[in-house]
């Protein structure tokens, strides 16, 4: 046997074993929150003079609207509370709180400490607010895997929460919605689902951004598609599949970042996934794009029904741009956790329709002298 | 400075306002919220902090239209008297779709919400309000 | 020790944009002083204003008013107990006289509530309730009373329309009182139809926002010349003013306590009339039930049937029109009540006259009873 032969064998085995030796952690608890109010997209079209054809293609019916006493912090609180209930741990065991959002109430002042204090997690904990457009919550999730596996912390809390803003009259207004999702990450033992492997793929691609003092973002229209959303998700997912040796058909669920009802289905099909695999992870058609809670809420919705042994692909995306891809495997432990907190379905069912006037008041887009 | 509200006055009360911590008198057993320095019932100073239940029953309520300065944008304000079992509390009510959703005896649950925003550059204040309890399969 | 009311001054409660709090105080002080002849002999000024620091940017109002009205060098103090400030001030005056630290006390209650727009007044009036929690809410001034009203109606199965007889009665009384702010009659069924403040409390269930001032000169037996009435006894008690802390929120525990204390030191039988603290419609029946003048849950019925009206079989309540219609300039109210009672007893009240008014009870409380004051006034 030649030296080259042994090196080749070593490399093949190393690649196959790569994910077995990489850091691993589990999702102990998951939770979501959706505000009660919904604005039908037809209301937006009526006010701003859009024709049906200009928005029906988004495949979104209504969007969730946070009330005037809600923001990304209050929504994160409830999603995290639900996750902690399912994790069945004392809040003080959480050693890191990563709050991913692009609608921070303060430019400077951590929201993570407000949530940490309100949930009884503080003071011995890491805490910070993260930004990477819609994938900040996911960056938090990925970071926690390493922190838990290395023993730096016992449990961590990753949250994605947004009260997404869009310039009134802009096409983005149809889908910019409010919601939150949260996950308690801990050791693989006793977890409801194990994050077996994950990959992140980022480039400097400015498809969508908001300058520091501006209230609303700008975007590159078509540029947000192929060069951004599709390119990064496809690359992240393909890298994950190669790394793990899995194929699209091996997964029971495929959940993608969902800026509207069309894109996730398109990117999924392009990668070889079926609508059957994708349907349970879709939330945007019912409530709009909750930005940092978009893919993550899809994950929460899937976990609400997933069965032991099932495999989940999760691919969040954030503008600027980047995508993650996760391979998550459900364990036996999941069944006893489901009923411990409201499900995404419970929040979807809890809805009250409002008109553009109430929406304007709730989201403070009417100019008033205070 | 463009601030109307005190930072420290709220901050001191975090454990009550964020987490619904009340006080139980070890002498007479009665509970009150928020915590005072002596039992308002028997006068004893032998008190301990306890976390109150976050769910209760609505005993009385009102829909407020005569709102104070600064609250115009939030009108109407809903306010209720809630029985948590160990004690009663008053709190603003939220997620009230219309005044007909409020009735004596309905279950209400605590949620974290904003209460004040101090102008454009001051702090945002959060505390627990109560909403009609969610139906949870 | 009994003390005597010798001179009184009143202004009409209303929107006195042209008069400052000191101007209002001066007006009534001069009236009262005129009745005793001269300011010489007045050795103490007790002021009662709850909102002077907020509405008029004035602390130590007693100090500044004394020179404003020509009494520089007098001993002076402001007394504050929220809505009960006025009666509290009278009780301090009585104590000073009893302890011989003064012989003739000028008590002035004055308040302005119209210096700012109403939403600011609502925010300031919220301070009458416990601030540990309520100061962080956006509930305004009628929130607790609204909770209480609904609780009362549901507990005793008393309907909205029965309660409306109270404001109607107050308006009817106030119509005769030239110092009252609201001098128009209303029918009971109009009350529930008026603007909702905090349901079920409507505009006609709540005291009006207005300015006012009242003054009385309280003298010791040694120096009094021509008394209008005597203040036989005053008692007070603090209590749990928070509706959520009371096991039985439909009784004002502080008032029950204050009244018990008063009955143990004075004869409170055969009361001819009362001036009570009807800040909101619901407070009146609860006051009556707290002091045992009506069975629990029955006061609204008795009011509606006219038992407390002129020609009723029970003491006449609020001949002045009460807080509801005469008005409620917070810190001044208690002084109004005492001045009106003294005039009633001496037969000089310019509104509804009670025949043979020999004994009158004055009841003042703060909020829903964090503090309650009760005074017995009698003829000399």
Identify from B11, B29, B60, B114 which residue to disrupt to test chain C contact, counting C C-beta atoms within 10 A and taking the largest count: B60
Question: Can you tell me the distance from the alpha carbon of A290 to that of A303, in angstroms, rounded to the nearest whole number?
Answer: 18
Determine whether the interchain pair B113/A70 forms a contact, defined as Cβ–Cβ distance below 8 Å: yes
Return the pLDDT at B137.
66
Using alpha carbons only, how large is chain B's radius of gyration in Å?
Answer: 16
Q: Which residue has the higher pLDDT, A370 or C326?
A: C326
Distance separating alpha carbons of residues C75 and C57, to the nearest angstrom: 22
B115–A105 C-beta distance less than 8 A: no
Structural domains in chain A, sorted by start: 24-362 (3.40.47.10)
* C211: DSSP letter: B
Percent of chain A with pLDDT over 70: 95
pLDDT bracket for residue A4 (50, 70, 90): confident
User: Do B59 and C243 form a contact (C-beta atoms < 8 A)?
Assistant: no
Quick one: closest CA in C to B32, which residue? C245
Closest among C156, C142, C62 to C109, alpha carbons compared: C62
Asked if C151 lies within 8 A of B59 by C-beta distance, the reply is: yes
Which of A36, A114, A352 lies closest to B126 in CB terms? A114
Candidates A69, A105, A343; nearest CB to B74? A69
Per-residue pLDDT at B104: 97
Q: What is the mean pLDDT of residues A12-28?
A: 69
Q: What backbone torsions phi and psi does residue A12 show, to the nearest 5 degrees?
A: -60, -45
Mutate which: A65, A69, A345, A352, vs B, most B CBs within 10 A: A69
C226 prior amide bond cis, ω within 30? no
Of A314, A298, A142, the closest CA to residue A237 belongs to A314
Q: What is the pLDDT of residue B100?
A: 86
- Residue B32 distance to chain A (closest CA, Å): 20
Enumerate the domain spans of chain C. 3-116+209-219
Residues of A in contact with B95 (CB under 8 A): 36, 67
Residues 104-143 of C with CB under 8 A from B: 117-120, 122-123, 126, 132-143
**For the residues A8-19, what does the mean pLDDT come to?**
55
The length of chain A in residues reads: 370
Banded model confidence at residue A13, pLDDT cuts 50, 70, 90: low
Q: What is the pLDDT of residue B2?
A: 76
- A257 given a catalytic annotation: yes
Catalytic residue among A43, A62, A102, A234: A102
| CA–CA separation, B35 and B51 (whole Å) | 11
Position A46 pLDDT exceeds 70: yes
User: What does the pLDDT average to over A37-66?
Assistant: 97
Q: Give yes or no: A21 in active site.
A: no
Q: Which CATH superfamily is domain C3-116+209-219 in?
A: Thiolase/Chalcone synthase (3.40.47.10)
State which residue of chain A sits closest to B116, comparing Cα positions. Answer: A69
Q: CA A16: distance to chain centroid?
A: 29
pLDDT band at A223 (very low <50, low <70, confident <90, very high): very high
**Torsion region of C73: left, alpha or beta (phi above 0 gives left; psi -120 to 50 gives alpha):** left
Per residue in A57-95, pLDDT (tens digit) is 999 999 999 999 999 999 999 999 999 999 999 999 999
**B6: Cβ–Cβ under 8 A, 6 or more apart, which residues?**
none
C-alpha separations of A17 from A12, A13, A24, A65, A244 in Å = 9, 6, 13, 46, 9
SS3 per-residue string spanning chain B: CCCCCCHHHHHCCHHHHHHCEEEEECCCCCEECCCCCCCCCCCCCCEEEEECCCEEEEEEEEEECCCCCCCHHHCCEEEEEEECCCCEEEEEECCCCCHHHCCCCCEEEEEEEEEEECCCCCCEEEEEEEEECCCCC
Residues 214-253 of C with CB under 8 A from B: 240, 242-245
**C62 touching chain B per CB within 8 A:** no
Tell me the mean pLDDT in the region A162-171: 93
Contact across the interface for B112 and A77, Cβ inside 8 Å:
yes
Do C147 and B79 lie within an 8 Å CB cutoff?
Answer: yes
Q: What is the pLDDT of residue A369?
A: 80
> Sorting pLDDT into bands at 50, 70 and 90, what band is A18?
very low
- The alpha-helical segments, DSSP class H, found in chain A are 3-21, 41-48, 72-87, 111-118, 136-149, 231-244, 263-271, 275-278, 284-287, 294-303, 344-349, 356-362
What pLDDT score does A19 carry?
A: 47
CA–CA min distance A283, chain B (Å)? 18
Residues of chain C with pLDDT below 70 are: none
Q: Is A114 on the interface with B (CB under 8 A)?
A: yes
Q: Which residue of B has its CA nearest to C240?
A: B40
Output phi, psi for C378, to 5 deg: -140, 165
Catalytic residue among A43, A62, A134, A234: A134
CA distance B92 to C187: 34
Per-residue confidence (pLDDT) for residue A9, from 0 to 100: 65
CA dist C231 and C245 (Å) reads 34
**Are the Cβ atoms of B87 and C126 closer than 8 angstroms?**
no
> Which chain B positions have a beta carbon within 8 Å of A73's beta carbon?
112, 124, 126
**CA separation for the pair C25, C19 (Å, rounded):** 10
What pLDDT is stored for residue B72 in this prediction?
Answer: 86
- Per-residue model confidence (pLDDT) at position A7: 65
Q: What is the pLDDT of residue A3?
A: 72
CB atoms B126 and A73 under 8 Å: yes
pLDDT tens readout for residues A227-275: 999 999 999 999 999 999 999 999 999 999 999 999 999 999 999 999 9
Contact assignment for C138 to B116 by CB distance below 8 Å: yes
Measured between alpha carbons, how far is C241 from B91 in angstroms, rounded to an integer? 16
Contacts of B114 in chain A (CB under 8 A): 68-71, 74
Query: What local confidence, expressed as pLDDT, does residue A253 receive?
Result: 98
């Amino acid at each position: 046997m030649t030296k080259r032969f042994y090196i080749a064998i070593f490399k093949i085995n190393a690649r196959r074993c790569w994910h077995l030796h990489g850091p691993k952690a589990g999702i102990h608890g998951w939770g979501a929150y959706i505000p009660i109010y919904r604005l039908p997209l037809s209301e937006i079209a009526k006010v701003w003079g859009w024709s049906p054809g200009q928005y029906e293609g988004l495949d979104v019916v209504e969007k969730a609207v946070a009330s005037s006493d809600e923001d990304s912090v209050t929504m994160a609180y409830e999603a995290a509370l639900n996750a902690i209930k399912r994790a069945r741990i004392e809040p003080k065991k959480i050693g890191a709180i990563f709050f991913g959002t692009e609608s921070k109430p303060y430019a400077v002042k951590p929201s993570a400490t407000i949530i940490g204090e309100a949930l009884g997690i503080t003071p011995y904990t890491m805490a910070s607010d993260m930004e990477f457009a819609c994938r900040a919550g996911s960056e938090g999730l990925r970071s926690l895997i390493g922190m838990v596996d290395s023993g730096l912390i016992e449990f961590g809390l990753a949250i994605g929460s947004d009260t997404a803003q869009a310039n009134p009259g802009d096409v983005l207004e149809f889908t910019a919605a409010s919601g939150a999702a949260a996950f308690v990450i801990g050791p693989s033992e006793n977890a409801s689902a194990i994050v077996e492997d994950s990959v992140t793929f980022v480039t400097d691609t400015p498809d969508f951004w908001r300058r520091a003092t501006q209230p609303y973002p700008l975007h590159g229209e078509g540029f947000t598609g192929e060069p951004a959303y599709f390119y990064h998700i496809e690359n992240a997912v393909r890298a994950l599949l190669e790394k793990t040796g899995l194929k699209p058909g091996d997964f029971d669920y495929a959940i993608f970042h969902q800026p509207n009802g069309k894109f996730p289905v398109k990117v999924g099909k392009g990668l070889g996934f079926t609508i059957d695999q994708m349907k349970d992870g879709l939330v945007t058609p019912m409530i709009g794009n909750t930005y940092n809670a978009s893919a993550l809420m899809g994950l929460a919705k899937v976990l609400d029904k997933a069965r032991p042994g099932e495999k989940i692909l999760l691919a969040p995306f954030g503008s600027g741009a980047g995508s993650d891809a996760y391979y998550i495997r459900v364990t036996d432990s999941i069944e006893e956790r489901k009923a411990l907190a409201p499900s995404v379905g419970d929040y979807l069912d809890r809805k009250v329709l409002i008109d553009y006037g109430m929406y304007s008041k709730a989201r403070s887009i009417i100019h008033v002298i205070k | 400075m463009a601030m109307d509200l005190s930072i420290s006055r709220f901050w001191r009360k975090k454990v009550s306002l964020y987490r619904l911590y009340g006080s139980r008198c070890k002498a007479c057993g009665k509970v009150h919220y928020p915590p005072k320095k002596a039992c308002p019932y028997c006068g004893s100073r032998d008190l301990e902090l306890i976390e109150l239940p976050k769910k209760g029953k609505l005993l009385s309520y009102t829909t407020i239209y005569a709102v104070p300065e600064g609250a115009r944008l939030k009108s109407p304000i809903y306010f209720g008297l809630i029985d948590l079992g160990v004690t009663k509390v008053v709190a603003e009510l939220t997620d009230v779709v219309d005044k007909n959703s409020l009735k004596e005896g309905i279950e209400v649950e605590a949620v974290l919400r904003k209460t004040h925003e101090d102008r454009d550059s001051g702090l945002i204040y959060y505390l627990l309000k109560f909403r009609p309890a969610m139906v949870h399969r | 020790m009994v003390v005597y009311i010798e001179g009184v001054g009143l202004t009409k409660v209303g929107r006195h944009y042209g008069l400052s709090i000191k101007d209002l105080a001066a007006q009534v002080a001069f009236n009262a002083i005129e009745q005793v002849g001269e300011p010489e002999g007045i050795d103490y000024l007790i002021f009662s204003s709850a909102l002077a620091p907020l509405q008029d940017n004035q602390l130590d109002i007693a100090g500044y008013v004394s020179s404003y009205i020509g009494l520089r060098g007098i001993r002076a103090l402001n007394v504050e107990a929220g809505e009960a400030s006025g009666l509290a001030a009278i009780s301090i005056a009585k104590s000073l006289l009893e302890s011989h630290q003064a012989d003739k006390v000028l008590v002035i209650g004055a308040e302005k509530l119209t210096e700012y727009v109403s939403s600011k007044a609502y925010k300031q009036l919220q301070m009458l309730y416990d601030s540990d929690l309520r100061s962080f809410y956006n509930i305004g001034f009628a929130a607790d009373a609204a909770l209480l009203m609904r609780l009362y109606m549901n507990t005793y199965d008393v309907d909205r329309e029965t309660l409306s007889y109270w404001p109607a009665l107050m308006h009817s009384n106030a119509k005769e009182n030239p110092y009252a702010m609201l001098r128009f009659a209303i029918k009971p069924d109009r009350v529930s139809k008026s603007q909702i403040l905090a349901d079920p409390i409507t505009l006609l269930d709540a005291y009006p926002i207005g300015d006012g001032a009242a003054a009385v000169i309280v003298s010791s037996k040694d120096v009094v010349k021509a008394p209008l009435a005597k203040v036989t006894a005053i008692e007070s008690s603090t209590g749990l003013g928070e509706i959520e802390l009371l096991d039985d929120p439909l009784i004002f525990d502080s008032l029950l306590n204050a009244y018990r204390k008063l009955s143990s030191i004075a004869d409170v039988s055969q009361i001819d009339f009362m001036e009570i603290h009807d800040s909101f419609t619901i407070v009146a029946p609860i006051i009556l039930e707290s002091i045992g003048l009506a069975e629990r849950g029955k006061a609204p019925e008795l009011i509606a049937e006219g038992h407390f009206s002129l020609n009723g079989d029970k003491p006449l309540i609020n001949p002045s029109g009460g807080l509801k219609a005469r008005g409620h300039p917070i810190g001044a109210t208690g002084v109004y009540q005492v001045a009106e009672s003294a005039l009633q007893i001496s037969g000089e009240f310019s509104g509804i006259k009670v025949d043979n008014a020999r004994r009158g009870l004055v009841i003042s409380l703060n909020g829903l009873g964090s503090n309650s004051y009760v005074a017995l006034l009698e003829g000399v």
